[in-house]
Every structure is written in structure tokens, then in C-alpha cells.
Amino acid sequence: MSEYEPTETLDVKGLSCPMPVVKTRGAVDDLSSGEILEVVSTDSGSMSDLKGWADTTDGVSMLDQEESDEGGEALFVHYIQKE
């Protein structure tokens, strides 16, 4: 598990591109500066999609991305901080 303590967790399991990015953008908008959003996805494409979005969006930083397994299902967890 990550050392980050998220302020909010966004569950986008079962959604595929572009919905994880769309939902993440909306959730980040609701955060205050310095808060961390944890995004949990089952879409392997979210690793590159969310990284690309964070890299090209002012005011957000991708802190970390992790891949894990939960009951045989691959999970992709992203930690995004609002600046």
C-alpha cells in the first residue's frame, strides 16, 4: 500500500477510457489545495491515461501509481494531489 493518506477515494472500477479521467477531473475540482485523491480503477489504460492527464493539467500532480490484485482482479491505484 501507498504511504499517501488520501482525502477522498474515487472508485471508477468497471469504467473504461475516457470515464476514469472525466470522473477524476470532476473529483479533483472538489478538492482543496494540498488534498490527495485516490483513484481506484480496473482499466489498465488508466495508468497512461491518468498520468498523461496529470502531466498536462495545471494545478495537479501525479504522486504515485500502483498495480495490485484484489481477488484475482487487477486494480490500478492512482494518487493525485491538487496543488
Catalytic residues: 17
Q: Is 42 helix (H, G, I), strand (E, B) or coil?
A: coil
Residue type, 26: G
Q: Say how far apart CA 39 and CA 65 lie, in whole Å.
A: 9
Name residue, grid cell 476514469.
20
d(CA 2, CA 23): 22
